[in-house]
Homo-oligomer: A and B are copies of this chain.
């Protein structure tokens, strides 16, 4: 399946789906109420995303840029591989990594300031899609300020102000709407309040989804 940017992935209704992002970038969105959305995860090429089909809130997978997707109805897939230890183990490791990231996200949203969340987001994105440029890291973010806000539990205005503060602090530089240069990576980690480096669950490999 190929989708243009800003599209909603057509998934089977009423049941969970496992989506493989062959290429592109997407966001998994939970709908809390009208005009109140929470971005559960950002996903990039190679990721496997579990999209819940039932529960107290509705989930939707939005493309950020053009995407190639492969969609599996989860229940059927789960039944078909019930006696294939290799695939089960792979799914388990993916799910475990996604759980770790989701917990980190809950901690970030629940107990961190806007400044700490912003720095944590940039460090996380650097681990996912950052390209080293000497001492600095180059990021080309496919998501809007609104998406970042919906991911961190903040408003677009607060995101924008945090970008401005980080620019003033000379920890980042921005080029256009989407490009960000992380000039002081260790400073950002410190600002994020991280105790240690990000582990394997936060890198690109074996990612069921990203937070």
A interface residue numbers (CB < 8 A to B): 30-33, 36-38, 40, 50, 52, 54-59, 78, 82-85, 88-89, 91-92, 95-96, 98-100, 102-107, 109-112, 120, 150, 152-153, 192-199, 201-202, 208, 211
Contact = CB atoms under 8 A, between A and B. Distances in A.
Copy number in this complex? 2
Contact of A55 (B78, B106, B193, B201): B201
B40 A103 contact: yes
Contacts of A32: 107, 111-112, 193
A89 B80 CA distance: 12
A100 B98 CA distance: 10
A112 to B, nearest CB: 6
A119 B80 CA distance: 39
A196 to B, nearest CB: 6
Given A33-B193, A92-B92, A105 B107 contact: no
Contacts of A153: 109-111
A36 B111 contact: yes
Contacts of A104: 30, 55-57
Contacts of A106: 38, 40, 102, 105-106, 109, 211
Contact of A195 (B36, B56, B102, B105): B56
Query: When A and B form their complex, which 9 residue pairs have the shortest distance between CB atoms, in order from nearest?
Result: A110-B153, A88-B88, A56-B194, A95-B95, A102-B102, A38-B107, A32-B111, A109-B110, A30-B107
A104 B192 CA distance: 23
A95 B193 CA distance: 27
A99 B88 contact: no
A88 B92 contact: yes
A193 B58 CA distance: 12
Contacts of A99: 50, 95, 98-99, 102, 208
A55 B112 contact: no
A117 to B, nearest CB: 10
A184 to B, nearest CB: 18
